[in-house]
Chain A
Amino acid sequence: MENTIENLEAKFQAKLDAEIKIEPKDWMPDKYRKTLVRQISQHAHSEIVGMLPEGNWITRAPSLRRKIGLLAKVQDEGGHGLYLYSAAETLGTSRDQMFEDLNSGKAKYSSIFNYPTLTWADIGAVGWLVDGAAIMNQVMLTRASYGPYARAMVRICKEESFHQRQGYEITMALAQGSPEQKEMAQDALNRWWWPSLMMFGPSDAESTHSAQSMAWKIKRKSNDELRQSFVDATVPQAEFLGLTLPDKDLKWNEERGHYDYGAIDWDEFWQVVKGGGPCNKDRLKVRNKAYNEGAWVREAAMAHAEKRAERKKNN
């Protein structure tokens, strides 16, 4: 068979149909490649920007055990960033390019990290809710059609579910603690609940990339389906803790076999996506500062590696 565009497209589609992973050297439509670069790099950026609100509490963690747990978690996030940047690089982009797009504001990252971690209870809420929401999405992505992305996700999911348990356990310690601690946990839940629901993105009717991503089997479930699974999983967890989810419309719907929940404030969602969240400017400022001030270190490492290679050649 000749390698005409039609044939290549047919071969690509046949692989998708047969659930065979697309690999870096396989032919793929340009738009598929671009969609993946956008999505994987966005995901990688979320991991490293996500290090900031959690890193914010490492130096103030209330016990040595919690400090160690949080350090390990934030280190894992960095590791996830590394696998994901590597997966994106297999599609022909470079880490420097991705960093520049992040730093200039061109590339996005998960909006949830534009909210501040104000108290220790926020570290519990972020682990429980934010990692919990992320897992819903990531478990689905272990079956994504692009091989390197799906494989990175398998590894990431194992660690994320550990993080979620850790977050839940932090919240549980507070919920079972003094009245002050319980109030701290409830306040964190009140602030993180709605932004966590927004993490799944616009509802299916409004989502621009969803339909195509589902056709390409990058995505396997719609935003609303994932959001519903998250609500269904989280309500009993909150009940167990004796905490109240801040939604008066939340109730079990016998007919649907799911929880109904109230209307999401999409104006807030778009404000934060477009740069107007409480921490957007700070997060980018910090990333830019680290990148710019680290330039001489990266240059030194390159220069040294070249010198070393040169010496080896001459010996």
Chain B
Amino acid sequence: MENKEVLFDYVLRIADNALILGHRVSELCGHGPSLETDIGLTNIALDLVGHARVLLQYAADVEGKGRTDDDLAFLRDIREFKNVLLVEQPNGNFANTIARQFLFDTFNYHFFAALTNSKDENLVAIAKKSIKEVTYHYRYSAEWVIRLGDGTEESHEKMQSALNEIWDYAGEMFVADEVDKQMLAEGIGVDLNAIKALWEERVTAILKEATLDKPEDGWIQKGGKQGKHTEQMGFVLAEIQWMQRAYPGMEW
């Protein structure tokens, strides 16, 4: 692949993580366990879709084929989406939502922090602009892991099984493929091994405080970064893309 194509793919991965997780969280709007969590989660969804938008605008620029952020969000098919499988997993109960969010936010925080040192000025600008919000997410979901883990017997049990269920999807965030390696070599991308160490440290500390057990590492479910998704993803796209597919080529 040419450099430009690799960069395009790399930016899409970051953008799609934000878009798809933002979509999942936005499904909960108005259905949260309390008004405060409803507002908090909607705010997180809003931030993530906002990040997705600027990243997709940048991806469209990099690609240079005249596509827009909306074209990339609404008119790509499943195999062209490059988000990790973790973020497309369904919301489940509140513990499932928080487990997915915590594992991702912890990664995303360290990822964005590292991205501020990229040689790509655009990525640096986006990372610097988003880091405040990403830091807020990182704190918010960790606090909820602690509350649920160290809350009641019921919440502890639910939080533990949510972590156990989702754990196999966490590993993919740290598996570097050719795109990751090339971007790292060029000083644009982030060193996923370094992020993994920081992630492990934080996750271990939070789970300890939450009196939860860290699940055993088993299979790593992966493929999202290469566009090989779970069956969930088709329905996610059907919903996100419905209007643009039903009414092509219109301004909204």
What are the residues of chain A within 8 A of B130 when measuring CB–CB? Answer: none
Residue pair B247, A62 in contact (C-beta under 8 Å): yes
How far, in angstroms, from A71 to B251 measured CA to CA in the complex? 19
Residue pair B49, A71 in contact (C-beta under 8 Å): yes
CB nearest neighbor in B for A82: B35
Mark out the residues of chain A between 66 and 117 whose CB falls within 8 Å of any chain B CB in the assembled complex. 66-68, 71-72, 74-75, 78-79, 81-82, 85, 95
B150 at the interface (CB under 8 A from A): yes
How far, in angstroms, from A285 to B30 measured CA to CA in the complex? 12
B21-29, B99-107, B222-230 - interface stretch: B21-29
A68-B50, A71-B42, A307-B150 given; A294·B250 CB < 8 A: no
A296-B158, A303-B152 given; A66·B252 CB < 8 A: yes
Write the nearest CB–CB distance from A39 to chain B, whole angstroms: 19
Residue pair B33, A293 in contact (C-beta under 8 Å): yes
What are the residues of chain A within 8 A of B152 when measuring CB–CB? Answer: 296, 299-300, 303
B56 at the interface (CB under 8 A from A): yes
Residue pair B23, A59 in contact (C-beta under 8 Å): yes
B4-12, B80-88, B121-129, B238-246 - interface stretch: B238-246
What are the residues of chain A within 8 A of B232 when measuring CB–CB? Answer: none
Residue pair B30, A299 in contact (C-beta under 8 Å): no
What are the residues of chain B within 8 A of A279 when measuring CB–CB? Answer: none
Q: Which of B38, B52, B74, B147 has a CB less than 8 Å from the CB of A51?
A: B38
What are the residues of chain A within 8 A of B74 when measuring CB–CB? Answer: 62-63
A28 at the interface (CB under 8 A from B): no
Write the nearest CB–CB distance from A295 to chain B, whole angstroms: 8
Mark out the residues of chain A between 168 and 218 whose CB falls within 8 Å of any chain B CB in the assembled complex. 170, 173-174, 177-178, 180-181
CB nearest neighbor in B for A99: B35
What are the residues of chain B within 8 A of A174 when measuring CB–CB? Answer: 252
What class of interface size applies to chain A in its complex with B? 35 or more
A120 at the interface (CB under 8 A from B): yes
A58 at the interface (CB under 8 A from B): yes
B73 at the interface (CB under 8 A from A): yes
Q: Which of A60, A71, A303 has a CB less than 8 Å from the CB of B240?
A: A60
B154 at the interface (CB under 8 A from A): yes
What are the residues of chain B within 8 A of A75 when measuring CB–CB? Answer: 29, 39, 42-43, 46
The 5 A-B pairs of least Cβ separation, nearest first, read: A294-B33, A300-B151, A300-B155, A62-B243, A297-B33
Chain B residues in the interface with A (C-beta under 8 A): 23, 26-27, 29-39, 42-43, 45-46, 49-50, 52-53, 56, 69-70, 73-74, 93-94, 146-148, 150-152, 154-155, 158, 239-240, 242-244, 247, 250-252
Chain A residues in the interface with B (C-beta under 8 A): 48, 51-52, 55, 58-68, 71-72, 74-75, 78-79, 81-82, 85, 95, 120, 170, 173-174, 177-178, 180-181, 286, 289-290, 293-301, 303-304, 307
Q: A81-B35, A299-B155, A300-B147 are in contact. List 10 more A-B contacts (CB 8 A).
A: A60-B243, A64-B49, A64-B69, A65-B53, A71-B42, A75-B29, A78-B38, A180-B250, A297-B37, A301-B34
